[in-house]
């Protein structure tokens, strides 16, 4: 096993137990998850970097903690007791290595009555500050800071305060998303007024111009990258277990919609390792997907859940989220430009195959071991072990360990620095040395890429220039179309950022939002270059910094 300096440092700081080697790590994880029957298969799967499970599995499998899931959603009920119960549960989950999502939409608005006293309620944003401060005090598994997603329905009376709450550096431990419903979108289209509803009693708090709120969301996203949008009606239209109720929140990166107290464990297939002689090895991919489903399903059975409520809800649906990483590298190895119709067609065909293989394997396990208990009333008519099988995660740390590109994102930069627990590490993509000397002049090109992180400005032919476009050079509409191409064949949701140039306008961001909804995405997130003073990723090794 060979790892880059960044991957080795990341493994040492966050994943390896004292005295452990990467070989030991993969052996520990494979044995803990697979047991005698599957440990050899699972060791081959992870040690060859064909598939990696989410970070808590790598950190905690085979340890006293034993908490292996990454994604959780907790309820936030409109009582002081309920709020602080969820706060305590959040701390336990963060301590075990998981991330949490919350819908704050059930909390009464600022200034509403409490126990008959007018003007006493402080509102959801005020309580989010409490959750944010608590998160900062609890490190995940003692190794990294916890992460949260805060969701507020567009119809909540405090929505404007929520939309702007992260500007000026507020809420560093939260991602935030506005929950958009079809009523809002109809009012936006027709120009009708949109009612904001007090969740305490269902009364109309006030009516607003939906266009003004839409522009406020887009303006805030331009200023700080947040909020994102969750299209809650689309999420629930495609919810495989509608009889269990409506879904209101997701995990911290938005790719995993969940009910309160549900958890999900994720894992990603390394597509770059499935390219053989400039072609996709479909047999290897299908075999890896099937083994990945086996792995993730086994995690549920050996998992030590942090709360009995989470154990109950998770076992009822047995949701797993198998996804992919290394998509951009795979495209480059196939000589397919990311910003092309061919890439969109390849993405759809690829994920359709992954989805089919994953569902087939889940059906087989369901026939052998039993379907998920809540299957009665679900969309499934036959055996199915897992209510969901596919998710596209961001693979923020996993892609570095695997030595490939993150999730389904394009290459952001071919050269950058990453700070891992205070130590900076320079990262330069191997794709530079592998491909550029063949297309244009060698050492000078490699030095240019190392310094600037992009091929822009080099005397390349048209195809090579297109092949090495970085995220910020790709049209925003294409980012959205790529997300939609994957979402069509994904049970859960897709983590994808629409990268925008520094010059992007509010109107352009609003158009991204509208296109994402029109194409059936379950949510969308934008990031305008340099919109934050503490930007975590910048082009070129000489100017960039990425926080771990």
pLDDT of residue 542: 46
> In 3D, which of 413, 85, 428 has the Cα closest to residue 261?
85
What pLDDT does residue 159 have? 98
Residue 186 C-beta-side C-alpha neighbours within 13 Å: 5
Q: Nearest CA to 156 among 187, 127, 133, 125?
A: 125
The domain limits of the chain are: 71-250
Quote the CA–CA distance of 468 and 456 in Å, as a whole number. Answer: 9
What pLDDT score was predicted for residue 60?
Answer: 96
Q: What is the pLDDT of residue 116?
A: 75
Burial class (CB in 10 A: 0-12, 13-18, 19+), 486: buried
Residue 187 a catalytic site member: no
SS3 11: helix
- Which member of 173, 251, 270, 492 is catalytic? 251
Instruction: Please state, in angstroms and rounded to a whole number, the distance separating the CA atoms of residues 345 and 485.
Output: 8
Digit-coded pLDDT (tens) for 418-470: 778 777 777 878 776 666 555 555 567 667 777 788 877 777 788 888 998 99
Residue 435: per-residue pLDDT = 65
Compute the distance between CA of residue 353 and CA of residue 359 in angstroms, rounded to an integer.
10
Positions in the chain short of pLDDT 50: 542-548
Give the count of alpha carbons within 13 A of 37, CB side only.
4
Number of Cβ within 10 Å of residue 430's Cβ equals 12
71 labelled catalytic: no
How is residue 266 written in tokens?
């994720």
β 497-500/523-528 pair status: parallel
Contacts of 100 (CB under 8 A, 6+ apart): 72, 73, 74, 90, 93, 94, 146, 147, 148, 149, 251, 252
Note the pLDDT of residue 143.
63
Element (H, E) at 197: strand 194-197
Which residues sit opposite 52 in a β-bridge? 268
Q: Which of 165, 187, 253, 544 does the annotation list as catalytic? A: 253
469 CB-near residues (< 8 Å, 6+ apart): 337, 338, 339, 410, 455
**CATH architecture of the domain covering 71-250:** Alpha-Beta Barrel (3.20)
Q: What angle do CA 145, 131, 149 make, to 5 degrees?
A: 70
- Is 253 annotated in the active site? yes
Q: Which of 226, 234, 248, 255 is catalytic?
A: 255
């Amino acid at each position: 096993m060979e790892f880059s300096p960044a991957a080795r440092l990341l493994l040492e700081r966050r994943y390896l137990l004292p005295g452990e080697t990467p070989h030991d790590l993969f052996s520990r994880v494979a044995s803990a998850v697979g047991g005698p029957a599957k440990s050899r298969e699972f060791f081959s799967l992870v040690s060859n970097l064909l598939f990696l499970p989410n970070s808590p599995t790598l950190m905690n499998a085979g340890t006293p903690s034993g908490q292996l899931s990454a994604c959780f959603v907790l309820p936030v009920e409109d009582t002081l007791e309920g709020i602080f119960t969820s706060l305590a549960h959040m701390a336990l989950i963060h301590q075990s290595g998981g991330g949490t999502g919350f819908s704050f939409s059930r909390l009464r608005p600022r200034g509403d009555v409490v126990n008959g006293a007018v003007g006493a309620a402080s509102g959801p944003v005020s309580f989010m500050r409490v959750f944010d401060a608590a998160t900062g005090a609890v490190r995940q598994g003692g190794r990294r800071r916890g992460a949260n997603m805060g969701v507020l329905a567009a119809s909540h009376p405090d929505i404007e305060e929520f939309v702007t709450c992260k500007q000026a550096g507020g809420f560093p431990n939260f991602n935030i998303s506005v929950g958009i419903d079809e009523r809002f979108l109809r009012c936006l289209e027709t120009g009708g007024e949109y009612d904001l509803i007090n969740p305490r009693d269902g009364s109309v708090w006030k009516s607003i111009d939906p266009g003004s709120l839409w522009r406020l969301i887009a303006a805030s996203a331009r200023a700080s990258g947040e909020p994102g949008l969750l299209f809650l009606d689309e999420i629930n239209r495609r919810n495989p277990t509608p009889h269990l109720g409506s879904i209101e929140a997701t995990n911290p990166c938005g790719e995993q919609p969940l009910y309160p107290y549900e958890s999900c464990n994720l894992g990603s297939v390394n597509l770059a390792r499935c390219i053989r002689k400039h072609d996709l090895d479909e047999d290897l991919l299908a075999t890896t997907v099937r083994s990945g489903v086996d792995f993730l399903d086994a995690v549920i059975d050996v998992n030590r859940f942090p709360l009995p409520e989470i154990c109950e809800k998770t076992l009822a649906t047995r949701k797993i989220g198998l996804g992919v990483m290394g998509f951009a590298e795979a495209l480059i190895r196939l000589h397919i430009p990311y910003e092309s119709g061919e890439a969109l067609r390849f993405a759809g065909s690829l994920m359709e195959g992954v989805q089919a293989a994953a569902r087939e394997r889940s059906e087989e396990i369901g026939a052998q071991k039993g379907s998920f208990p809540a299957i009665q009333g679900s969309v499934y008519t036959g055996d199915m072990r897992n209510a969901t099988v596919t998710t596209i995660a961001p693979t923020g740390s996993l892609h570095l360990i695997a030595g490939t590109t993150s999730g389904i994102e394009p290459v952001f930069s071919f050269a950058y620095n990453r700070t891992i627990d205070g130590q900076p590490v320079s990262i330069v993509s191997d794709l530079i040395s592998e491909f550029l000397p063949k297309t244009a002049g060698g050492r000078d090109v490699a030095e240019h890429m190392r310094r600037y992180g992009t091929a822009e400005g080099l005397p390349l032919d048209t195809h090579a220039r297109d092949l090495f476009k970085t995220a910020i050079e790709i049209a925003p509409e294409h980012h959205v179309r790529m997300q939609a191409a994957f979402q069509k064949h994904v049970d859960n949701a897709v983590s994808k950022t629409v990268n925008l140039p520094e010059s992007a306008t509010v109107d352009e961001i609003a158009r991204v939002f509208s296109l994402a909804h029109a194409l059936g995405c379950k949510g969308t997130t934008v990031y305008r270059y340099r919109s934050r003073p503490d930007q975590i990723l910048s082009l070129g090794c000489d100017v960039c910094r990425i926080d771990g």
